[in-house]
């Protein structure tokens, strides 16, 4: 028998004789059930079971008592499948009222109304109970086989309904489960798509940097050599010229002391060659050339930093605060006429970094902030702080701000909006590379006409395998 099998029947009738009749019909003396068991054993090969009644029948002699039994059965999780209810019971609830109460507690219950006559018309009764599909009518006097077949059929119906509702629950549960899985899968997918997009963006950025880095490294390498001998030659030239100078002076004074025509001719030649001007201008030219080649050298150095070929630097634990202060000193002259400095520092722990490179980042940000100022004096605010395993530095200015369509280009190498000579467009891409090398992050917020804030986050401790 399946676990859903329910043979429990409740009979509610005020007449004890009716209970007797039902007992005889539904729970006859055993031979019948023994026969049935034997048949089942022959058909399905199961063991003949010990005798068992066809139905379990409980008796109640009034509506209230019937309801009590039904509630108790529900509490014990042994519900009735079927109730036979007498229509006319003189004391207490009549059949209709009893059935209403029974169904309030157990809507699954199949009900057979038994009656010879009723205080209602059948139409009235069906209208009142509104459950045509769970209600059968059995008119007295009834036939035994009629009762037995009703009981059999309705018990089966109860079981099928129960099974269907269980399966329905199971299906609903499965649908819920699947829906949740789909939701989860779609969320996962969305997250993956977002991550991919972000990674692609980073990849494009780092590829750009890498290819330009290689180019820059190559150029820097090629240029380094000529810069070396040009600046060394300029130094030597400067020395030679300094050696020659006293000689010219000596020639001049000896010539003048000669007097006469020789002296006049010498003076004439000297004027024709503009010797006085040359003597004055040559050292100036040498100095300018030295400065120029020094600047070229600086650009090459920037390019080398940018391409990260410079491996001289050492990772070390350093205090950023000191770095910030010394960097501010270096750029003080740039800031002096442009902006007031506001410092809003929290004490920072030492961090593991390449200090000179971090200084360079700060310098780039501060110089950019100063250069973003218009004719009016502005404010540059430096903030520092610690958050979890990171330190952060913010450089905020009240300058021009950055238009939205420019914002995504500012970290590109050689992107600049400044006139030639003022901007190389390398500052931010260099800074980006340095910050990434430290495993950190650089972000920018900007509002046109209001100002710009750059925020650099750096991990306190590096977990790199090799540098």
Query: Which residue stretch of 57-65, 176-184, 198-206, 423-431 sits at the interface with Mg ion (rule: CB under 5 A)?
Result: 423-431
Cβ 423 to ligand ADP shortest distance, Å: 3
Burial class (CB in 10 A: 0-12, 13-18, 19+), 165: exposed
Cα separation, 120 vs 3, whole angstroms: 39
Query: What does the buried/exposed string (b/e) look like for 311-346 if buried means 16 or more CB atoms within 10 Å of the residue's CB?
Result: eeeeeeebebbebbeebbeebeeebeebbeeeeeee
212 binds ligand ADP (CB under 6 A): no
Question: How many residues touch ligand ADP (CB under 6 A)?
Answer: 21
Tell which residue, 24, 28, 22, has the closest CA to residue 53. 28
427 binds Mg ion (CB under 5 A): yes
Nearer to Mg ion, 95 or 413 (CB): 413
Tell me the two tokens of residue 338.
């442009």
Residues 347-376 that bind Mg ion (CB under 5 A): 368
418 binds, among Mg ion, ligand ADP, none (CB under 5 to 8 A by kind): ligand ADP
Nearer to Mg ion, 231 or 453 (CB): 453
Nearer to ligand ADP, 99 or 380 (CB): 380
What are the φ and ψ backbone dihedral angles of 55, each rounded to 5 degrees? Answer: -135, 160
399 binds Mg ion (CB under 5 A): no
Nearer to Mg ion, 327 or 368 (CB): 368
Residue in the structure block whose two tokens are 């109860």: 158
209 binds, among ligand ADP, Mg ion, none (CB under 5 to 8 A by kind): none
3-state class (DSSP) for residue 390: strand
148 binds, among ligand ADP, Mg ion, none (CB under 5 to 8 A by kind): none
Cβ 172 to ligand ADP shortest distance, Å: 59
Question: How many residues touch Mg ion (CB under 5 A)?
Answer: 2
Residues 369-428 that bind ligand ADP (CB under 6 A): 369, 372, 397, 399-400, 402, 410, 415-418, 423-428
**DSSP annotation of 256:** H
Q: Minimal CB distance to ligand ADP: which residue?
A: 427
400 binds, among Mg ion, ligand ADP, none (CB under 5 to 8 A by kind): ligand ADP
Cβ 400 to ligand ADP shortest distance, Å: 5
Nearer to Mg ion, 199 or 330 (CB): 330
Cβ 182 to ligand ADP shortest distance, Å: 45
Nearer to ligand ADP, 268 or 406 (CB): 406
Tell me the two tokens of residue 34.
């023994």
86 binds ligand ADP (CB under 6 A): no
452 binds ligand ADP (CB under 6 A): yes
Nearer to ligand ADP, 127 or 340 (CB): 340
Cβ 209 to ligand ADP shortest distance, Å: 12
Cα separation, 231 vs 292, whole angstroms: 10
Nearer to Mg ion, 368 or 381 (CB): 368
Nearer to Mg ion, 357 or 368 (CB): 368
Listed in sequence order, the residues at least 6 apart from 451 whose beta carbon sits closer than 8 Å to its beta carbon are: 372, 378, 396, 397, 398, 399, 401
Residues 115-144 that bind Mg ion (CB under 5 A): none
Cβ 318 to ligand ADP shortest distance, Å: 23
3-state class (DSSP) for residue 398: coil
372 binds, among ligand ADP, Mg ion, none (CB under 5 to 8 A by kind): ligand ADP
CB–CB of 441/457 below 8 Å?
A: yes
**DSSP annotation of 47:** P
Nearer to ligand ADP, 37 or 457 (CB): 457
Between the two ends of the chain, the Cα-to-Cα distance in Å is 75
Cα separation, 446 vs 141, whole angstroms: 94
Tell me the two tokens of residue 154.
């309705």
Cα separation, 204 vs 233, whole angstroms: 43
Calculate the CA 26 to chain-centre distance: 67
Cβ 375 to ligand ADP shortest distance, Å: 15
β-sheet with 8-12: strand ranges across? 56-60, 8-12, 82-86, 110-115, 135-139
Q: Minimal CB distance to Mg ion: which residue?
A: 427
Q: Angle 372-330-444 (CA atoms, 0-180°, nearest 5)?
A: 35
Helix pair 122-129, 95-105: axis angle to 10 deg: 20
Cβ 403 to ligand ADP shortest distance, Å: 9
CB–CB of 464/439 below 8 Å?
A: yes
Cβ 438 to Mg ion shortest distance, Å: 19
Query: Where on the chain is the footprint of Mg ion (CB under 5 A)?
Result: 368, 427
Q: Which residues here bind ligand ADP, judged by CB under 6 A? A: 364, 368-369, 372, 397, 399-400, 402, 410, 415-418, 423-429, 452
């Amino acid at each position: 028998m399946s676990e859903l099998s329910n043979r429990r029947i409740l009979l509610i009738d005020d007449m004890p004789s009716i209970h007797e009749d039902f007992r005889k019909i539904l729970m006859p003396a055993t031979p019948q059930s023994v026969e049935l068991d034997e048949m089942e054993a022959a058909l399905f090969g199961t063991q003949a079971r010990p005798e068992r009644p066809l139905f379990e029948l409980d008796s109640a002699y009034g509506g209230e008592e019937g309801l009590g039994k039904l509630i108790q059965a529900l509490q014990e999780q042994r519900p009735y499948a079927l109730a036979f209810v007498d229509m006319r019971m003189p004391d207490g609830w009549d059949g209709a009222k009893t059935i209403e109460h029974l169904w309030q507690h157990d809507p699954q219950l199949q009900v057979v109304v038994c009656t010879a006559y009723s205080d209602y018309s059948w139409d009235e009764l069906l209208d009142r109970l509104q459950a045509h599909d769970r209600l059968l009518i059995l008119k007295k006097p009834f036939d035994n086989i009629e009762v037995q077949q009703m009981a059999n059929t309705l018990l089966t119906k109860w079981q099928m309904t129960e099974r269907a509702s269980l399966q329905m629950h199971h299906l609903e549960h499965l649908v819920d489960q699947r829906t949740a899985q789909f939701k989860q899968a779609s969320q996962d997918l969305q997250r993956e798509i977002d991550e991919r997009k972000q990674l692609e963006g980073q990849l494009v950025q780092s590829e750009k940097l890498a290819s330009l880095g290689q180019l820059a490294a190559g150029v820097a390498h090629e240029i380094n050599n000529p810069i070396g001998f040009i600046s060394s030659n300029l130094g030597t030239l400067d020395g030679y010229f300094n050696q020659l100078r006293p000689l010219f002076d000596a020639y001049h004074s000896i010539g003048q002391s000669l007097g006469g025509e020789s002296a006049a001719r010498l003076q004439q030649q000297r004027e024709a060659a503009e010797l006085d001007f040359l003597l004055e201008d040559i050292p100036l030219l040498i100095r300018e050339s030295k400065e120029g080649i020094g600047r070229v050298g600086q650009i090459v150095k920037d390019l080398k930093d940018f391409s990260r070929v410079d491996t001289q630097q050492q990772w070390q634990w350093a205090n950023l605060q000191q770095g910030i202060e010394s960097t501010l000193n270096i750029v003080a002259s740039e800031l002096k006429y442009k902006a007031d400095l506001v410092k809003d520092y929290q004490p920072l722990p030492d961090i593991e970094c390449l200090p000179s490179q971090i200084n360079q980042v700060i310098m780039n940000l501060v110089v950019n902030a100063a250069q973003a100022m218009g004719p009016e004096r502005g404010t540059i605010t430096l903030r520092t702080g610690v958050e979890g395993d990171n330190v952060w530095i913010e450089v905020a200015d009240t300058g021009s701000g950055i238009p939205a369509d420019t914002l995504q280009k500012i970290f590109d190498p050689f992107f600049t909006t400044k006139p030639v000579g003022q901007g190389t467009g390398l500052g931010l891409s260099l800074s980006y590379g340095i910050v990434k090398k430290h495993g950190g992050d650089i972000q920018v917020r900007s509002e046109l006409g209001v100002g710009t804030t750059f925020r650099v986050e750096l991990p306190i401790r590096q977990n790199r395998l090799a540098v």
